[in-house]
Chains A and B, each alone.
Chain A
């Protein structure tokens, strides 16, 4: 999540109770690949959005992929798109996995301040909102997952622990 969050670790305040999570919020999510890991990512797409992203930003080809975010899911991305395991790897994340919203940084002290929801960075991500059409029923009927799930294990066996493991205070009710 560089440059928003430091590589060496940040102490942040996390809002645990539910507020409306929108695009641009930094959230903590339980990783779908490892239930014991909590990662910090930014929400770049809500349910119903169509996300277009570069398949491999390190390569120079312009290959993009477009994905529609399903009902009840969010699309999360790390700010450092070159080195982040996020929804581009494991697909849209169910909203039930959202752990909290990061809203303030306490340490390091020279970066003390609120981590507000930024506007979406241009360039690497385009997210289009889709107005929900109530006359169109969601196609949940026999929506079989494709044979290659979007969260298939990557080809390169890299155990990239992108989840910057940070200590956090949380306001619990």
Chain B
């Protein structure tokens, strides 16, 4: 009799344990899918995008839907998997899409000479805002479009404020509204 009651208790306990585990698993799956395919936040460092992004580090929100739909254009800041090292992700600005003719300063610190190149089919030309200290398409050439992982949407300055100055015109169809209890977000369009 005692054994039967214990068994029932164990069964309900086991059921609850399984339910909780499934819930946690579902949550992590959702988190992973959102991070990989919808939107994610990353910390970027380095001097190549100064003054747009800080040298010491910035947390930015990167959305991945625009790149899959092909809505990336010149002027967008994108994160790109580095062609010379697939484990490295770099943040640069797109200057030219396929077919565009891009003119760039070859070595601005030492000379004034410029070069023009037509971006081949299926590639993009990326360049850092700080041309003096940026390893970008001027060094490794045009980047295949499939290496572009996401488009930078906004920068988080101080939670819960969001600095949307990086919001580019091409992203107007993906308005993200962040509702917080205490303050409203500053929106620059």
Contacts and interface: CB of A to CB of B under 8 A. Distances in A.
Contacts of A158: none
Nearest to A149: B120
Interface in B64-82: 81-82
Interface string A91-103: 0011111100000
B83 A149 contact: no
Interface string B44-63: 00000000000000000000
Given A30-B144, A30-B146, A140 B139 contact: yes
A31 B115 CA distance: 27
Contacts of A34: 121-122
A95 B140 contact: no
A155 interface: no
Nearest to B141: A145
A97 B144 CA distance: 8
Interface stretch (A8-16, A51-59, A66-74, A117-125): A66-74
Nearest to B138: A144
Contacts of B164: none
Contacts, number: 72
A142 interface: yes
B162 interface: no
A143 interface: yes
Given A97-B144, A97-B146, A32 B123 contact: yes
A35 interface: yes
A32 B124 CA distance: 11
Given A140-B84, A145-B117, A97 B147 contact: yes
B139 A33 contact: no
B73 to A, nearest CB: 15
B135 A96 contact: no
Contact of B122 (A32, A72, A98, A142): A32
B103 to A, nearest CB: 13
A153 interface: yes
Interface in B120-143: 120-123, 135, 138-143
Contacts of B106: 142, 144
Contacts of A136: none
Nearest to B110: A142
Given A96-B147, A143-B139, A149-B141, A31 B122 contact: yes
A143 B138 CA distance: 8
18 contacts: A31-B146, A35-B145, A72-B82, A72-B86, A73-B84, A94-B86, A94-B147, A97-B146, A140-B84, A140-B135, A142-B107, A142-B139, A143-B139, A144-B115, A144-B138, A149-B142, A151-B120, A153-B121
Interface of B: 81-86, 106-107, 115, 117, 120-123, 135, 138-147
